[in-house]
Amino acid sequence: MNSLLHLSATQLAKQIREGQVTSRAVVQAHVDHARKHNPQLNAIVADRYDQALAEADAADQVLAKVGPANVPQFHGVPCTIKESIRVVGMPHTAGLVSRKDLRMTQDADTVRRIRAAGGIILGVTNTSELCMWMESSNKVYGVSNNPYDFTRIVGGSSGGEGAIIGSGASPFGLGADVGGSIRMPAFFNGVFGHKPSPNIISNAGHHPVPTRGLCRTLTTGPLCRKAEDLWPLVQLLAGPDPEDPDCTNALLGDPKDVKIAELTVWTIEDNGFLEVDPELRAAQRKAADALAALGATVKTTSIPLLKKSFQLWSATMSAGNGTPFVQLMGGDGPAVNPWTELVKWSFGQSHHTLPAILLGVGEVLEHIVPMGQEQSLKDAAALRKEMAELLGPKGIFLYPSYTRPAPKHNAPLRRPLDWIYTAVGNVLEMPITQVPLGLGTLGVPLGVQVGSVSGNDAVTIAVALALESAFGGWVPPKNLD
């Protein structure tokens, strides 16, 4: 693997500014790697490689003209964007067949910020249908494959992002998270991902269009192969956007000011409902031990309300989402009948994936048989209060990212609730950073979630940096050597 593919975006930008390497060479290395391996991964679903190389040449010309002090932070550095986020000239289907011919005429605010900082977009990456399943597969682009083992899933819904970054073909990318859609792909593909505190980064330009009722549940954020890029990217992406009136919170602190020795680490090994693989539990304990070695106080606890994670997330989504999922499945047309689609799917005639159809069925059944939403919303508020009081301003929690390392394709259908380990983080409305912890016995990544109280993004990212130093962070996949 080209040595440039091992560097962070921050390091690449520094080398470009200092003339150690050209933007053309950096972008070419990533394009070559993507062209070689993306056919197996199916992570980038629409590329702009030729435009990216032309933009790299232009970046080199600008640098020669204005000098290193006058170019932006990520000048000449390549990246990728989740397909459900608007990028000029690119498709914006979110895996929905009825949107396959759409091409965007403007960027989302977050994409504009990346371009303004000098980022060069290589392409857009695969998602699950309407961004609502843990496997990135849809009827527009097909299924994405894990760079460590092509027979395994990449996660969802930012699965294409996780896979292409984990492969080494992109140093960083942009995702969005309503139930673990940044953290789960980051976990399965061995990279870093950050779900920020609510209302710090704009959600505008995403499809499905987030309703204001979900403004604290859905968050847009970065994925990257090196932890040192997390904070600069969050800083870059944060700030008001006229398209997103809820994006008003200020970004607080700085990871450099965080002292690990002053933190209390609460390690929660499971939710009391779904058992966690022993290898993941052991990795989490090692992470806690590494932080203890740096002076942190480590305590183990359990939270009984976590047993209700699925009910809490489901009620939160139902209360905040103004558009029924079956309507979203219909695109610009009428709402679909999920029962009809289920029959059509059994004969191979549906334009929708089975997980999306089953979610539609569940939505219909929930209206017929109410699931105690009012009590679940009270329980969700109680859980947020309990966790905030437990952690305080200098507390973090370690929590499993999933029940097991990346499963085989389609296996999640047999265990459809395993993703709730990340989804409850959206109910908590807290910043959570996904941290890789090396590879397990299956040769696929291990990892852990690091969370803290709202506004403590700098704290979770500081812990991610410490754990990267202890465990090595991203491991380039031997599968692609």
Alpha-carbon distances, residue 406 vs 49, 143, 442 (angstroms): 29, 15, 9
In whole angstroms, what is the distance from residue 125 CA to residue 96 CA?
14
Task: Please check whether residues 127 and 97 belong to one and the same domain.
Answer: yes
Same domain, 324 and 398: no
161 and 302 within one domain: yes
Examine the domain organization and report whether 412 and 466 are in the same domain: yes
Tens-binned pLDDT, residue by residue, of the chain (481 aa): 899 999 999 999 999 999 999 999 999 999 999 999 999 999 999 999 999 999 999 999 999 999 999 999 999 999 999 999 999 999 999 999 999 999 999 999 999 999 999 999 999 999 999 999 999 999 999 999 999 999 999 999 999 999 999 999 999 999 999 999 999 999 999 999 999 999 999 999 999 988 888 999 999 999 999 999 999 999 999 999 999 999 998 999 999 999 999 999 999 999 999 999 999 999 999 999 999 999 999 999 999 999 999 999 999 998 887 788 999 999 989 999 999 999 999 999 999 999 999 999 988 887 665 567 899 999 999 999 999 999 999 999 999 999 999 999 999 999 999 999 999 999 999 999 999 999 999 999 999 999 999 999 999 999 999 999 999 999 999 988 6
**Structure tokens given for 461:** 């990212």
The pLDDT of residue 369: 54
The H or E element that residue 116 is part of is: helix 109-116
Residues 206 and 258 in one domain: yes
Q: 208 preceded by cis ω (within 30°)?
A: yes
Which residues, in sequence order, are bridge partners of residue 175?
Answer: 221
82 catalytic residue (yes or no): yes
For residues 349 and 267, membership in a common domain is answered with no
> Residue 257 burial by CB count (10 A; 0-12/13-18/19+): exposed, middle or buried?
exposed
Domain of residue 365 covers 308-377
128 assigned to active site = no
Same domain, 198 and 276: yes
d(CA 342, CA 449) in angstroms, rounded, equals: 35
Run of H or E including 432:
strand 432-439
- C-alpha distances in Å from residue 117, one per residue of 64, 174, 263: 17, 14, 33
Q: Are residues 110 and 24 in the same domain?
A: yes
Distance CA 420, CA 449 (A): 13
- Which one of 351, 377, 403 terminates a domain? 377
* E strand intervals along 293-401: 297-300, 395-399
Choose one of 316, 349, 377: the last residue of a domain: 377
For residues 223 and 299, membership in a common domain is answered with yes
Contact, 312 vs 383, CB < 8 A? yes
Please choose, from the candidates 195, 153, 200, the residue with its C-alpha nearest in 3D space to the C-alpha of residue 176: 195
- Listed residue (276, 302, 274, 281) closest to 390, CA to CA: 302
The values of phi and psi at residue 105, to 5°, are: -105, -5
Q: What is the DSSP string of 229-261?
A: GHHHHHHHHBS-BTTBTT--PPP---GGG--GG
Q: Which of 144, 157, 314, 350 is catalytic?
A: 157
Q: What's 133's domain CATH number?
A: 3.90.1300.10
Domain stop point among 346, 377, 408: 377
Q: Of 158, 181, 314, 350, which is the active-site residue?
A: 181
Pull the structure tokens for residue 127: 């998602």
**What ranges in 143-229 are assigned the alpha helix state H?**
159-167, 183-188
Residues 368 and 249 in one domain: no
Query: Smallest Cα–Cα separation from 34: which of 2, 9, 74?
Result: 2
Q: Domain tally for the chain? A: 2
Catalytic residue among 8, 23, 82, 170: 82
Q: 74 and 191: one domain?
A: yes
Nearby residues of 413 by Cβ (< 8 Å), 6 or more positions away: 354, 355
Residue 452 designated active-site: no
280 plus 357 within the same structural domain? no
